[in-house]
Amino acid sequence: MTPLNDVPQSATRLGLPVIQTPASVEVVTERTIQEQGYRTTTDTAQGAVGVLSGDSAGAPASFSMRGFSGSQINILYNGIWTGPGDITSRWMDTAGLAQVEFLKGPSSIMSGLNAIGGSINYVNKQPTSGPVRNEIDASVDSFGSFRTHLGSGGNTGVQGLDYRFDAVGSKLNSFIDGDFRDLAGLAAQLNYRVTADFAAFAAFEYKNDYGHAYWGTPLVPVSFAGSHAVSGVVSGTAVSTFDGSIIGPLTIDSRTLTTNYNVADNATGAHDLWLRGGFAWTPLANVTVKDQYYSYQAKRSWFDSETYAFNNATSTIDRDRFFVTHNQHIIGDNADLTWDSRILGMDNRFAAQLQVSSNWITFEQEGNPDAFPADTVSVINPSPGVYGPEFPNTRNSWLTDVAGSFEDRLKITPVFALIGGVRLEQLTLNRFGVNFDGTIPDGQPFSKTWKPVSYRAA
């Protein structure tokens, strides 16, 4: 159950608890994560009503809310958006998280572009004052998966200087042959209370995931599977991805339930590095200024055979080849102002934020110069083979974002308030690239600017 007095960062900048926020918000706390045994951020969706999640090989840690999914839901890290979730989301361990916030419904006023279905905000554990507290935990499951975590936090011995440190390593296995994921993470933060009115922080986080992927079990005709046909799962017919032929009536062959049809040298992985810093300053009793500046770097890669189809002519499985790599760099700054005042004798709180960011990403993607399918393997006990030569197309995208958000709450009575807000934004996208053969792709280079306006009232 969401604590009603929790103050979610992603729902409003007015600093209101959940019970006073006019939105559907759920907070999965650290305590819930530990009690329910949520090992990854994907698992945390189980703690929120009406939220679905999954770890597909191509878009891990993807969520669905209110009929929307993928890039229609913004994924935030301590309030920072790094790009569409179906491009940037990765497998993440929960060890370093204080909570996960689920804001359901349109929320573009908070996080901007794409937040049609809502947003999800991962909040890191924070340093604590007082004596140092150390923690260690470990787990193992029947698939041979394991997890170890070491955490520590408290005062450094220097007056006003507190710290938090978390290190985690885990291996996630499944019942599919060769399907696994290794996760590692290291996070540290220092908070320094310079005076009663001014505090600063500096944070570092590194995450790494690596593994082999499973892209599905191909469907086969009942006539091929014979007595090994699995009933009650699929029916009807399908169109071959490669030659357009009709496959069916369909079934799953029980001899292939744990078979991985990926190439032997398949690999998917990512490295993420966060550097963040900032301050909170209260120059007046009723005015607070906060700032968070950040740098984010990520390298991601997929190297697979991802599509499989039964070949009616040869009774084998046709396969493709596909790879993509990301090299992403983001720098940005979020500056916040909160001002408490009285208007005609009524309490009023005004909040504003200025966001600026520069998001650069280079894609290298398989140019697929050869006719497909790339090769064919047997249905039963296939020889995996290797990927083969690569033919990379290169695409560069540079997104600059400047946004100003304003919110206000006027308390008409002690139990009734009016709340409203608006977000003004300017997004500029520049894109250019080159194909594997040196040619320039159609329509590139190009540049486009958008100026969306988001608002809400309650």
pLDDT tens-digit map of 175-190 = 999 999 999 999 999 9
56: burial class by Cβ within 10 Å (0-12, 13-18, 19+)?
Answer: middle
Distance CA 335, CA 353 (A): 5
Could you read off the pLDDT of 429-457 as tens digits, one per residue?
999 999 999 999 999 999 999 999 999 99
Distance between CA 53 and CA 389 in Å, rounded?
Answer: 34
Determine the pLDDT at residue 314.
95
Report d(CA 318, CA 294) in Å as an integer: 46
DSSP string, 119-147: EEEEEE----SSS-EEEEEEEE-TTS-EE
As a dihedral over the C-alpha atoms of residue 79, residue 81, residue 85, residue 87, rounded to 10 degrees, the angle is -150
pLDDT at 1: 61
Domain boundaries, given as residue ranges, for the chain: 129-217+257-457
Kindly report the pTM of this predicted structure. 0.93
Rounded CA separation 265/373 (Å): 18
CATH homologous superfamily, domain 129-217+257-457: TonB-dependent receptor, beta-barrel domain (2.40.170.20)
**220-221: strand order across its sheet:** 220-221, 250-253, 229-230
Confirm if 150 and 167 have CB atoms less than 8 A apart.
Answer: yes
The set of residues, in sequence order, having a beta carbon less than 8 Å from that of 137 and lying 6+ positions away, is 147, 148, 149
Instruction: Name the stretches of the chain with pLDDT < 50.
Output: none
Pairing relation of β-strands 250-253 and 220-221? Answer: antiparallel
Residue-wise burial string across 376-404, b where 16 or more C-beta atoms lie within 10 A, e elsewhere: ebebeebebbebeeebbbbbbbbbbbebe
